[in-house]
Amino acid sequence: MMVDGAKVADDVEPRTLLVQYLREKLGKTGTVVGCDTSNCGACTVHLDGTSVKSCNVLAVQADGGEVKTIEGLATDGVLHPVQEAFRDCHGLQCGYCTPGMIMQSVALLEENPTPSEAEIREGLEGNLCRCTGYQNIVRAVKQASGQTEGVTA
Amino acid sequence: MIPAQFDYLAPTTVEEAVSALAEHGDEAKIIAGGQSLLPVLRLRLNAPEMIIDLGRIEALRGVRDDGDAIVIGAMTPHAAVQKDPLVAEHAALISRAVDHLADAQIRHRGTFGGALAHADPAGDLGAPAIALGSQFVIAGPSGTRTVDADEFFVDLFETAIGEDEILTEVRVPKHTGWGAHYEKFVRVAHQWPIVAVAAAVRAEGGTIAEARVGLTNMGNTPIRARAVEQALVGQPATEEAVAAAAAHATEGTNPPADLNGDSDYRRHLAGVLTRRAVLAAAGA
Amino acid sequence: MTTLEDRPDVAPEIGRDRRRKEDQRLITGRTRWTDNITLPGMLHLAMVRSPFAHARITGIDTSEAKAATNVVGVFTAADLGESQGVLINAWAITEDQVTPTHLPMAADRVSFAGEIVAVVVARTQAEARDAAELVDVDYEELPAALDLKKAAADEVLAHPELGTNKSAFWQFDSEGAGTGGNVEAAIEKARTDGVVIEREFRQQRLIPAFMEPRSTVVDPSGEQITMWSATQIPHILRFALAATTGVPESKIRVIAPDVGGGFGGKLQTTPEEWLTFCLANRLGKPVKYTETRSESLVSAHHGRDQWQKLTLAAEKDGTVTGLKVDLLADLGSYVSLVGGGVPVLGAFMFNAIYKFPAYQFNCQTVLTNKTWTDAYRGAGRPEATYGIERIMSELAAEIGMDPIELREKNWIKHEEFPFTTVAGLEYDTGNYEAATAKALEMFGYDELRAEQKRRREAGDTVQLGIGISTFTEMCGLAPSRVLGSLNYGAGGWESATVRMLATGKVEVVTGASAHGQGHETAFSQIVADRLGVSFDDVEVLHGDTQIASKGLDTYGSRSLVVGGEALVKATDKVIEKAKPVAAHLLEASVEDIEFSAGRFSVRGTDQGLAIGEIASAVFTAHNLPDGMEPSLDSEATYDPINFNYPHGTHLCAMEVDTETGAVKMRKYVCVDDIGNVINPLIVSGQVQGGLVQGIAQALWEEAVYDEAGTLVSGSFVDYLLPTSADTMNYEIDHTTTPSITNTLGTKGVGEAGTIASTPAVVGSVVDAIRHLGVNDIQMPCTPERVWKAIQGAGTGGPATEGAAMPHFDTDEAGTASTEGAGA
């Protein structure tokens, strides 16, 4: 499969989860695991162009597919606008949910480039954050969509 | 977090899948989108020896027009169903239910047929599917057969699909021009519905000519609220008239009791939500 | 020599909404979570946990597990003996506290479901888990003490050998302490000619539910044994490991790398850490243990879980005359690190901002066969704030007075500060009038009250309620002498070191241990201002006992007010050390040297040197005053003289659907006074996030056990954390009354939102349906409870316990091959 633009090949046990493969075999530890019931979304990556929870996909199911993780989001050292907006709007605190939250936000904006606040909130309902109370995340997504909110502290 | 060991097959045709199933018998488990199965395996609540993945069978994907029905391939992801113009035009009730199914990532990966075959009574697709009188096409060693909506759901997590069979597609009779609404009651957004009501209404003027109502999580299977449907026929789409019909929503139900509510509370909710769903579907 | 213009940026850093230094790594996935760490030859642990709340272990057969592929060993308590160490309680709240021995792994009896009975070591995590399934444990079930009130009556014993479940009884009495009158007399008098309000509130059991599951890696291969752990308290952890395992403290290095949230939940020394430490040493190999979320929810400590009985005495005009509090607090099956100290932290806060002449606080801590409890965001103060703010609104309702007016009548006026409270604390500053006035204006209080009246009169299906919380809290833990007087096992100081590097950069070492708070940014701002260096030139180091050798870590909203003050003192020392060098180089006397904006200058002249130039001169040491030590580096350890007391006014408007019991928040306004703000962006994040945790207690979260003592809400399917779709934009603002107990005039903000919001939210739900005969709803205010309360069933009663939604449980399912085939 392709992961963050690089072709990779390994033999894995069928039971290996995609997230395990990314972390343990490829060292892509930017993608993390937060739960075991697919509620938290911390492990969200893109598989063949759409967001999925990588704890809820077997690595063998992604065979031949294209995976993008948080580590492949910036291009040539330039942050993706969503990454930039998360920093600018203080959309993270401990940062553990952040990779999944950013990857889902990117997918959301690809499907709906100018979402309303309600659409952002619903679009991120599969990603849990315990620190921020979500408000600054919502603002970051809005800002990244070009619907500038302006940061008010 | 990590499932127990299993072997894995990814057939590319239905025939291959059926013969793999025949070969491995009850040691095998079908994986469709895997959005309910993988958590079960990770929590080690189940440990099949063989996983047969339908994900590589292209023929099971997509929605097509088939005269008086639309046909949804079992492996069509929820997100594709949600955006599909045929579904929106002829089975809007299914579109409305998919809108609120789980979350975006799960809708990308989870499949229409997988969710129905999983037969979680709190799943969002069962009630609209049976309300619209869907037919379930099932492939097995001796060919395909079709099961009617009323016979498909058997019990908690149990359907009419045999051990050696696979759900391949669902035929949904066209309900073109019907108003539709899925009223889902949850405490937090990512929860399964505590109770939900799927309602489709064909209105003529201000009068309800026909209605289809299905209930989610009001028993071991999705339930079609026929008494409500009958009571609605010929009624004006007013609060009072619909409320009177919705009072029949609890007939034939056997709701569960859990952290989110006891059976009595769910019965009460079913009445309120049925009224709201029907009124919304009728555009009232 | 330089002139002022050479400084790139002279705008003050303090008060700027600097973007965080921490974020670049976190938004690109370049992180150091403990579970990311992989070492050569590393082994993995899997725990075998008891499914029973209380049972005797009659046999453990590990033979099949030991024979499994790539398994290195399987160990029980009998195998490890004393080498596994023991877990400590650092705060025995009374001399005669009953404290069960807490071994990391149970030997012959388990006392909660989730307790570890065996541990498997294998070459991979998956193989360790596979083998753990093969360990065969025989249990003989014992009756379990589960209900808190019944446990307090000693009907069933959580630990039979102790003879009682009652761990400790702790009292504060204002008459006895000489800080106020006799509370019984006040209540008696009010029964005759005043008003007495009696209420019993439930603080449900909560789970901190930090997003990063706990993980520990121990590498025994160096001269020091290194432990990485997802902890809030690397220093306390090192101390406790040394104290209980016999390994010298100097041989242990603890590192808290990136830590994904804590909220009190990682303020613990855990069985899992002890076992990882023990087995790494025993096997001589690096060992990792990372918990699953299911394990985390059942074994990481829980929070709250109290019954609170409040008796409030007042005159008929609403003037409060006495408050008596009787608490029952559930410790769970062991007395944790802080343990009974958590409710005691609330003892000084029930009187809150009000001038009670008499006060008594009684707390009984109780052992049960449930998961242990300890600090969760707020720790003691949310419980107190909830109790007092709810009952003040009850008093207002009883006497027919507006609840704001009632509070105003009883609160400490701004000109009365400093004010010594009936609990014996001295509140340094505050201005409740200003915060409340601003909040009322932002909220549109009068308009919302008018709408509430309209909806009531019209009998609307959807009713509107307004909840109020005019809270204060004590934070900045803590003056060491106060902790000593409370029998806490350590002090409350914090340490900081400032190192001036030869290249002009500044390294700051803090003993506080961040896990999401943004210390690196805020501390850089403080140092930039104090030393007049650039924000970007400051590097903040923390969370490693070999780098930050002294520290008491992060909890209790202490990092800025205690750790920040230590930092200020260290920077002051740097400046004092630099002055003689400046004087020497400028050929002036030390008395004539002034320091301002990063520059040492000679009074009355334009001659001066930048601090970086001094640092460089000290590094070369070519030309220093005679006998001067060539170093500007300075350390300070600061012991606070007092707590500090943030306060604020929170107002919540809630719509209640009387047909379904569903609640929908309409508006939430808070005006907090947290003194001077270092970084408003970080503060807004702390407040928004804190609010949601407090609101979540009010509406969604509850750890529920069934009758067998199994945690029913044992996954995120059933332990309901709110999502973005369940929350909204809370309108936050500030008033500023600087604290006078620290140089920067700051107050803690980490817990304020959580402490304040819960009673405002529950109060708003109750207020919406009070006219239907409701005066309490048990938390969380589920739709079912609200609906049942409206139907006349009191507080809505407990949820139907003993059943989770069975979505992932296919045991009951049929046999069709596709069941479980994925949604």
- Report the complex ipTM: 0.96
Is A37–B43 a contact, with Cβ atoms under 8 angstroms apart? yes
Is A50–B43 a contact, with Cβ atoms under 8 angstroms apart? no
Smallest Cα distance from B225 to chain C, Å: 20
C6 pLDDT higher than 50: no
Tokens 């919540």, located at residue: C652
Task: pLDDT band for C804, please (50, 70, 90 cuts).
Answer: low
Is B35–A56 a contact, with Cβ atoms under 8 angstroms apart? yes
**pLDDT for the residue C794:** 66
Is B106–A56 a contact, with Cβ atoms under 8 angstroms apart? yes
Q: Are A63 and A121 in contact (CB under 8 A)?
A: no
Which chains sit next to A, with 3 or more Cβ pairs under 8 A?
B, C
pTM of the model: 0.95
Q: What is the pLDDT of residues B165-183, one digit of tens each?
A: 999 999 999 999 999 999 9
Which chain A residues contact residue B103 at CB under 8 A? 41, 125-127
* Range C4-31+493-638 has CATH code 3.40.50.2300: no
CA B225 to chain centre: 15
* Domain ranges (residues) in chain C: 4-31+493-638, 40-145+208-299
Provide the token pair at C686: 């702390």
Closest CA to C174 of C322, C342, C365, C367: C322
Whether B49 contacts chain C with CB within 8 A = no
Tell me phi and psi for residue C522, to 5 degrees: -65, -40
A109 pLDDT higher than 50: yes
Long-range contacts, stretch C402-408, CB < 8 angstroms, 24+ apart: C403/C468, C404/C436, C404/C440, C404/C445, C404/C468, C405/C318, C406/C318, C407/C353, C407/C354, C407/C432, C407/C436, C407/C468, C407/C470, C408/C433, C408/C436
C812 pLDDT higher than 90: no
How many Cβ atoms from other residues are within 10 Å of residue B254's Cβ?
Answer: 14
**pLDDT for the residue A149:** 61
C53 pLDDT higher than 60: yes
**pLDDT for the residue C795:** 67
Smallest Cα distance from A106 to chain B, Å: 12
**pLDDT for the residue C748:** 85
- Put simply, the chain B residues between 65 and 94 with a CB less than 8 A from any chain C CB are 78
Least CB–CB distance from A14: residue in B34, B38, B51: B51
Chain C interface disruption, residue of B159, B185, B265, B274, most C CBs within 10 A: B265
**pLDDT for the residue A153:** 40
Least CB–CB distance from B159: residue in C715, C806, C816: C816
Smallest Cα distance from C150 to chain B, Å: 22
Which chain C residues contact residue B11 at CB under 8 A? none
Q: What is the pLDDT of residues C266-284, one digit of tens each?
A: 999 999 999 999 999 999 9
**pLDDT for the residue C11:** 80
Chain A interface disruption, residue of B27, B30, B105, B188, most A CBs within 10 A: B105
C807 pLDDT higher than 90: no
Is A120–C27 a contact, with Cβ atoms under 8 angstroms apart? no
Is C126–A137 a contact, with Cβ atoms under 8 angstroms apart? no
Is A36–B1 a contact, with Cβ atoms under 8 angstroms apart? yes
Closest CA to C286 of C363, C359, C354, C216: C216
Q: Are B8 and B53 in contact (CB under 8 A)?
A: yes
Helices vs strands, H then E, count in chain A? 5, 5
Is B257–C800 a contact, with Cβ atoms under 8 angstroms apart? yes
Count of pairs with CB atoms under 8 A, one residue in A, one in C? 182
Give the residue-averaged pLDDT of B268-276: 98
Least CB–CB distance from B162: residue in C700, C721, C816: C816
Give the residue-averaged pLDDT of C451-466: 97
Which chain A residues contact residue C30 at CB under 8 A? 30, 71
Give the residue-averaged pLDDT of C102-113: 97
In this structure, are strands B69-73 and B63-66 parallel, antiparallel, or unpaired? antiparallel
C811 pLDDT higher than 80: no
- How far lies C665's CA from each of B196, C385, C662, C698, in Å? 22, 21, 10, 12
Which chain B residues contact residue C818 at CB under 8 A? 30, 32, 114, 117-118, 159, 161, 165-167
Task: pLDDT band for C1, please (50, 70, 90 cuts).
Answer: very low
**pLDDT for the residue C579:** 96
In this predicted structure, which of B4-8, C563-567, C690-694, C754-758 has the lowest mean pLDDT? C563-567
A73 pLDDT higher than 70: yes
In this structure, are strands C462-472 and C608-610 parallel, antiparallel, or unpaired? unpaired
Paired with B143 in beta bridges are B140
In this structure, are strands C538-541 and C506-510 parallel, antiparallel, or unpaired? parallel
Task: pLDDT band for C18, please (50, 70, 90 cuts).
Answer: very high
Closest CA to B119 of B86, B151, B82: B151
Give the residue-averaged pLDDT of C143-157: 97
Whether C792 contacts chain B with CB within 8 A = no
Is B31–C662 a contact, with Cβ atoms under 8 angstroms apart? no
A2 pLDDT higher than 50: yes
Task: Tell me the residue length of chain C.
Answer: 823
B252 pLDDT higher than 70: yes
Give the residue-averaged pLDDT of A110-114: 97
- Put simply, the chain A residues between 45 and 74 with a CB less than 8 A from any chain B CB are 47, 50-53, 55-58, 60-61
Distance CA C162, CA C333 (A): 12
Q: Are B41 and A61 in contact (CB under 8 A)?
A: no
Pick the CATH number of C40-145+208-299 from 3.65.10.10, 3.90.1170.50, 3.30.70.1900, 3.30.70.20: 3.90.1170.50
Smallest Cα distance from C435 to chain A, Å: 18
In this predicted structure, which of B217-221, C175-179, C375-379, C558-562 has the lowest mean pLDDT? C558-562
**pLDDT for the residue C407:** 98
Which chain C residues contact residue A90 at CB under 8 A? 19-20, 681-682, 684-685
- State the number of CA atoms in the 13 A half-sphere of C496 facing the CB: 31
Chain A interface disruption, residue of C18, C24, C27, C679, most A CBs within 10 A: C27
Whether C211 contacts chain B with CB within 8 A = no
- Put simply, the chain B residues between 158 and 197 with a CB less than 8 A from any chain C CB are 158-167, 185, 187-192, 194
Share of chain C above pLDDT 70, in %: 95
Whether A126 contacts chain B with CB within 8 A = yes
The dihedral formed by the CA atoms of C468, A152, A141 and C517, expressed in degrees to the nearest 10:
-70
Give the residue-averaged pLDDT of B142-156: 96
**pLDDT for the residue C805:** 62
Task: pLDDT band for C522, please (50, 70, 90 cuts).
Answer: very high
In this structure, are strands C593-596 and C419-420 parallel, antiparallel, or unpaired? unpaired
Which chain A residues contact residue B42 at CB under 8 A? 17, 36-37, 55
Closest CA to C307 of C792, C784, C779, C804: C779
**pLDDT for the residue A55:** 97
Chain C interface disruption, residue of A44, A135, A136, A151, most C CBs within 10 A: A135
Whether C24 contacts chain A with CB within 8 A = yes
Q: What is the pLDDT of residues C415-438, one digit of tens each?
A: 999 999 999 999 999 999 999 999
Task: pLDDT band for C756, please (50, 70, 90 cuts).
Answer: very high
Smallest Cα distance from A3 to chain C, Å: 15
Is A90–C28 a contact, with Cβ atoms under 8 angstroms apart? no
Task: pLDDT band for C557, please (50, 70, 90 cuts).
Answer: confident
